[in-house]
Amino acid sequence: MDPILQPCDIFLTRGTSLVSCLIRFFTRSFGESRTLVNHVGVIVQPGTPSTAVGVEALSRVCRHTLGSQYGPGSSDLVAVYRPLNLSAAEQAAIIAAAQGYVGRTYGYLAIAAHVLDWCLLGAYCARRLVRMDRYPICSWLVAHAFGKADKHFGVAAGMATPDDIWDFVTTRPQSYALIRPLSRLR
């Protein structure tokens, strides 16, 4: 039986496209083990893994069911983690922040800034200059939304990568519960 996903659950994905592979390569820190995920979003409306509604930055920030993006026919893997330490007010702040970005154009320049910072051995330099609030990328969107509830993933919102969020939630079982392991949606 599929679990019911709840608002503020974090979904992380691993795609098979060239862009997905490049994101995993360029978000890996030097000396770190292989990066497992390349994308992240947040659930804003409850449901099964196929019917829950999420917000994520694709070519635009969009709101849709997970099944419509990652269901049958998709080769992407999806994992879901649930924050265990959110009040109702914090949940409302996260959901409002995430939904406030729906319709904005994806920050392709921010991806170039991530690559440049990677070339600078992980320095948080180029990403400081990019307007991610106007043109968000997936990890910034999730990190910024959680920042509205004073929840962070161990790095500044502008520095966050899907891998940073993955590393943070997978190493803190007291704060994040695994709801769905990294696998295909049925």
* pLDDT for 34: 75
* pLDDT for 169: 97
Residue 156: inside a domain: yes
Residue 158: inside a domain: yes
CA geometry: angle 144, 145, 150, nearest 5 deg: 80
* pLDDT for 47: 97
Residue by residue, pLDDT tens for the chain (186 residues) are 789 999 999 999 998 877 776 666 666 665 667 778 989 999 999 999 999 999 999 989 999 999 999 999 999 999 999 999 999 999 999 999 999 999 988 666 566 665 666 666 666 665 566 555 556 789 989 999 999 999 999 988 877 889 999 999 999 999 999 999 999 998
Residue 72: inside a domain: yes
Residue 94: inside a domain: yes
Cα distance between residue 70 and residue 66, in whole Å: 6
Residue 131: inside a domain: no
Surface-to-core class of residue 43, CB atoms within 10 Å of its CB (0-12 exposed, 13-18 middle, 19+ buried)? buried
The domain total for the chain is 1
Q: Which residues does 87 contact at the CB level (< 8 Å), separation at least 6? A: none
* pLDDT for 181: 96
CATH number for the domain including 151?
Answer: 3.90.1720.10
Cα distance between residue 78 and residue 24, in whole Å: 15
Domain that holds residue 165: 10-103+137-183
3-class secondary structure for 4-27? CECCCCEEEEECCCHHHHHHHHHC
Q: Which residues does 135 contact at the CB level (< 8 Å), separation at least 6? A: 104, 105, 106, 107, 108, 109, 110
Residue 177: inside a domain: yes
Residue 43: inside a domain: yes
* pLDDT for 17: 75
CA distances from 184 to 8, 130, 159 (A): 21, 33, 28
Coil, strand or helix: which one is 184?
coil
